[in-house]
Amino acid sequence: MSAFSSPLSRRRDGRGSLLLAAVLAVTVPGFLVAACSAQGTQGGQKAPGAGQEAAASAGTQGRKQSSQRAVRLLTEAAQAAVLTSYQGEEIVSRWGSGTQPTVLVSEIWHVSGGQTVTQTLQPGTGSSGQPYRSADNDAQTPEGVLGVTAPLVNLLKQNYVLAYAGSGTVYNRKAQVVEALRGDGSLAARFWLDNATKLPLEREVFDLSARPIGEDEFINVSVFGRAAISAPAGGVDDPQGPWTGPLPPARLLTLRSRGWLVRPALPDDLSLFTGAQTTTSSGTVLDLGYSDGLSVISLFEQRGNLPARLAGWQKTTVDGKVIYVTEPGQRSMTWSSKGMVYTLITDAPAQTVSAVVGTLPHDAPPGFFRRLSRGLAKLASWVNPFR
């Protein structure tokens, strides 16, 4: 990596390592504690009584109480998503540049503290895709509903002002409403949390211009005893492969010293909150998860270079950087730089994605003479009969 090419870079890298170690030491154990504490606090905490308390009350005490109540409700929702056995239908809507959202529907079965099975309807066909099964027995990679997990609630608490916004109704289910506000007071997200099960029922996400960019709903929710729920047969066990994670901070620091790009943070308050690793036929893949509590960016790294042709990908330019994106929607993007292939998968707003792509490594286009020299060498190699 170029960061190790000069003494200055090494000094900077050393500071970066210290910073990374400090961040990981503070954040990752916090997430683990939060996730583990979810196991211990099982048992129906009573839902807060319905009321129209003003979330943004004038007094400091009122705001503090509102914030504490919002945090408690979200924490309970994250716990319920792990500890409750439930079945439901998750509808994810995403707005792009057009007025019509892209809607995706999945059936979800979850056994308390155990496996989650997700079967996604193929968009536009009405048929179901292959269900996949994943386990979260260790509770260190807690799956959630509508993105409400313990680590993300913790980040949400750090990066946004959480406020209790009263009660509401979602598909005839009574819910408590929690809002996430930016520092300037603008609304970033709104959550509806089920009174009865504590599970998240709906989440709305807004961009900086207050335009809705995402709406997730969890409907037709049924809660079962542990033995009562049965997932559909034929599910694939861990089709995603043997991901090892979350990686401890020491492991991440080791990977960084070996040339992997492990940054403690990305633009727009995106913090590194998890890491995982797997081995594929083409080598080791490192997954680093960054989030501000609402948006998540998964950065996948793999040593190598992109092939000359990428089927299913489209070449585009983001802030002057040439990358490849999947169609439709450009939700996944990839490029290679200095022997490393970077792939981003994210649901973050476009501005955030552009900022992140801009700060990650890219190969600078060669200068005129450098390019000419390379071309002459290539032409010479083509006509060299002795090569």
Using CB under 8 A as the binding rule, the residues of this chain from 340 to 379 that contact another protein are 341, 343, 345-351, 353-354, 357, 363, 366, 368, 370-376, 378-379
- 251 φ, ψ to 5°? -65, -40
| Min separation Cβ 127 and another protein, Å | 14
Contact between 194 and 201 (Cβ < 8 Å): yes
Name beta bridge partners: 297: 290, 346
| Residue with Cβ nearer another protein (29 or 239) | 239
Among the residue ranges 29-37, 40-48, 172-180, 296-304, the one whose residues contact another protein (CB under 8 A):
296-304
| Residue with Cβ nearer another protein (169 or 284) | 284
Largest CA distance in the chain: 85
Please tell me whether residue 276 binds another protein under the rule CB under 8 A: yes
Instruction: State the pairing for strand pair 236-237/102-110.
Output: unpaired
Among the residue ranges 19-27, 139-147, 168-176, 225-233, the one whose residues contact another protein (CB under 8 A):
139-147
The 49-88 contact track toward another protein, x by CB under 8 A, reads: --------------------------------x-------
Using CB under 8 A, which of 51, 64, 319, 359 touches another protein? 319
Please tell me whether residue 17 binds another protein under the rule CB under 8 A: no
| Min separation Cβ 188 and another protein, Å | 15
Instruction: State the pairing for strand pair 270-280/321-326.
Output: unpaired
CA proximity to 344, closest of 262, 293, 288, 306: 288
Using CB under 8 A, which of 60, 280, 384, 386 touches another protein? 280
| Residue with Cβ nearer another protein (186 or 316) | 316
Contact between 84 and 110 (Cβ < 8 Å): yes
Instruction: Give, as ranges, the residues between 149 and 168 that touch another protein (CB under 8 A).
Output: 149, 152
Instruction: State the pairing for strand pair 236-237/132-135.
Output: parallel
What are the CA-CA distances from residue 367 to residues 306, 359, 364, 373 (Å)? Answer: 22, 21, 9, 10
